[in-house]
Copies of this chain bind each other. A is one copy, B any other.
Amino acid sequence: MFMVYNKITEGIATAIRQIVGNEWFISNRADLGKYSHDETEDLRYYPEVVVKPKTADEVSALLKLCNQHLIPVTPRGAGTGLSGGALPVMGGLVIAMERFNQILNIDEENLQATIEPGVITEEFMNRVAAKGLLYPIDPASKGSCFIGGNIAYGSGGPRVVKYGTIREYVLNLEVVLPSGEIIWTGANTLKYASGYNLTQLFIGSEGTLGIITKAVVKLIPAPTTDALMLASFNSNEEACEAVSAIFRAGIIPSTLEFMERKAVQWVIDKDGIAFDMQPQDAAFLLIEVDGTNANVIFGDCEKINAVLETHGCTNVLFAESSAQKEELWRIRRTIGVSVKSNSVYKEEDTVVPRAALPQLIKGVKEIGSRYGFESVCYGHAGDGNLHINIVKANMSDDDWNTKLKDGIREIFELTVSLGGTLSGEHGIGFVQKDFMPIKYSPTHFELWRGIKQVFDKNYILNPSKIFNA
């Protein structure tokens, strides 16, 4: 289907201004620049107009107007996305949700909170932590990303391995549909078996079905103690094999992160983080256990240690202070940014059953050596979720622009052949959609397009994301 969209005319612009107020209306090129990109590679697409509404009613009026005039609308959170989901590739209107920044309620009786989508994830986590509570969904970008974006893209982070996915924490959503109607998707309940679950359908729908204006999320009592260790291995394979073995030993760590040598090297070289890497270190696991009892944590660490010893681990560094924990986490969290700020790159977010990780990494390296690109691999090994940062290195501009796509295709083909899929937590957005047929059949596309049309028959919302019309 080929969609025809209209431009924002003077008349429509005036109507938009009237809805949000002049102060929150942006149309000059310089100020639009910030909204022309997210954290996805170096891609830039300028919208015609950016608005910053404050209420669901304003969002409703904007969507009604755009629906009537067939103006493409791109919802935008903090712009930290890695799949181009916030890129206004069709121009039109960007609805920036940054003024939806209120934590409306933290209900300590029910362990639930009601928040607006523009709340920064870490700020929310800190607010609930002060009450002894945990909201465990913390992507690496937690200091700047918005919870609304996390929900729209099905974001994860390191603690999913123990605490479950964001799907387990989002109970109910207020959304504005493209028609302008405002609905709550479900109920503020921990269990829900009352018709098709629209809340779950919105999670991971990448702003293509409606715009989230409120979220009710579940909180849990916070763990009171934790331990962090960094285990070194002589090979990626041994590190990955240790991952499965830890679970088989009956332990569920609160995080179980993988970093290959090159990832850590990059952080040391480019960000000046001090870390004494040994020549033989090929890969690392960053393992955290948490709970409410120091003895149990200690026992878990001992069990993990025993597993590590029998899986080729050469050294285990136990963090002895919060400062040292923070330092180790900083290595892990800085990798992505470090790669991005120092090279032309592409980031993939492959996910496979966790025991397939060694094969995946080995295959990625082999593909890289054939195509001439370097890759920096790291990620949530406990979930089988491997981030692959492909860096240009010595690849020619020509090869980067033309041949690389075939290399990426091979990576995804391998991922799918191992029982995995294209994205574990970054979403498909704009940059991965062309690879979707590797995994999904025409029937899947037909079902997805059908669902899209139920919510957005004119395809105005975040067009050209996940799949084409």
Contact = CB atoms under 8 A, between A and B. Distances in A.
A166 to B, nearest CB: 9
A349 to B, nearest CB: 7
The 6 closest A-B pairs by CB, nearest first: A450-B454, A191-B424, A109-B355, A187-B421, A154-B193, A200-B200
A296 interface: yes
Interface string A369-391: 00000000000100111000000
A249 B111 CA distance: 12
Contacts of A193: 153-156, 204, 349, 423-428
A467 to B, nearest CB: 7
Given A198-B444, A200-B203, 10 more contacts: A109-B248, A109-B354, A187-B416, A187-B421, A189-B351, A190-B383, A196-B448, A197-B203, A221-B250, A292-B296
Contacts of A188: 353, 419-420
Interface in A70-129: 107-112
Interface in A176-214: 177, 181, 183, 186-198, 200-201, 203-205
A132 B250 contact: yes
A56 interface: no
Contact of A168 (B164, B251, B355): B164
A439 interface: yes
A191 B425 contact: yes
A200 B197 contact: yes
Given A153-B193, A296-B296, A252 B420 contact: no
A451 interface: yes
A451 B196 contact: yes
Contact of A422 (B194, B224, B252, B419): B194
A26 interface: no
A244 interface: yes
A86 B320 CA distance: 58
B194 A439 contact: yes
Contact of A186 (B186, B349, B421): B421
A328 interface: no
A349 B191 CA distance: 11
A341 interface: no
A380 B164 contact: no
A180 to B, nearest CB: 11
A234 B355 CA distance: 52
Contacts of A247: 111, 221
Given A250-B224, A251-B221, A419 B196 contact: no
A352 interface: yes
19 contacts: A109-B244, A109-B248, A109-B355, A154-B193, A160-B190, A161-B190, A177-B443, A190-B351, A190-B354, A190-B384, A191-B351, A191-B425, A192-B351, A193-B423, A193-B427, A194-B423, A194-B440, A195-B466, A292-B296
Contact of A189 (B197, B220, B419): B419
Contact of A385 (B191, B198, B356): B191
B419 A194 contact: no
A448 B197 CA distance: 9
B447 A187 contact: no
A104 B410 CA distance: 30
A167 interface: yes
Interface string A215-236: 0000011101000000000000
A428 B295 CA distance: 46
A204 B193 CA distance: 6
A251 B295 CA distance: 17
